[in-house]
Amino acid sequence: MKSPSKNEDMKKMEAQFDEVFERTVDKKMEAPVTPRVEMLLETIELVSQNRNIDYGEPVQNMARTAEILAAYMGDRTGRSLEAQDVAVFGIILKLGRLAENPLHKDSVLDIAGYASILFECIEKEKSGT
């Protein structure tokens, strides 16, 4: 028997989410939906759809990312961090995600964006501005 593809798994998860979400909203949403609630509903939709397919299980992904961060930090502590370190952290976060799905284009683009920020931080540090 052929195992389902990630795309089939994602469609199944989305259908299950839609069904549960609609039942929950119908049952619980008696008051008007405020912008705050809209944001939270959008967040629920984001974290309960294809994130695990794209990035793997969150705890596993964060543990992998923590290992990469620990290697980068070495013996340094948080008090020694500079702007360029934060840009590197963004790259490391995306590398942790790419380890799960190396074909995820958005992560590659995000790495390029963080690299451009890192470059700017380095240039400003060198020029003293």
Q: Identify whether residues 75 and 15 lie together within a single domain.
A: no
The model's pLDDT over 18-44, given as tens digits with 9 standing for 90+, comes to 777 776 665 565 667 899 989 998 888
For residues 81 and 47, is the Cβ–Cβ distance under 8 A?
no
Residue type, 20: V
Q: Identify whether residues 43 and 61 lie together within a single domain.
A: no
Average pLDDT, the chain: 86
Find the helix packing angle between 83-100 and 58-73, rounded to 10°: 140
pLDDT value at residue 6: 66
Q: Which of the listed residues 11, 28, 49 is the one where a domain comes to its end?
A: 49
The stretch 70-85 carries a mean pLDDT of: 93
The stretch 87-108 carries a mean pLDDT of: 94
Q: Which domain holds residue 24?
A: 1-49
Q: Which of the listed residues 28, 49, 70 is the one where a domain comes to its end?
A: 49
pLDDT value at residue 5: 67
What does the alpha-carbon distance between residue 93 and residue 67 come to, in Å, rounded to a whole number? 11
What does the alpha-carbon distance between residue 128 and residue 121 come to, in Å, rounded to a whole number? 10
The stretch 39-67 carries a mean pLDDT of: 87
Q: Identify whether residues 64 and 41 lie together within a single domain.
A: no
Computed over its alpha carbons, how large is the radius of gyration of the chain?
20
pLDDT value at residue 26: 59
Q: Which residues are CB-neighbours of 99 under 8 A, at least 6 positions away?
A: 64
The stretch 41-53 carries a mean pLDDT of: 82
Q: Identify whether residues 41 and 80 lie together within a single domain.
A: no
The domain tally of the chain equals 2
Q: Identify whether residues 78 and 30 lie together within a single domain.
A: no
The model's pLDDT over 2-18, given as tens digits with 9 standing for 90+, comes to 566 667 777 777 777 77
Q: Identify whether residues 64 and 124 lie together within a single domain.
A: yes
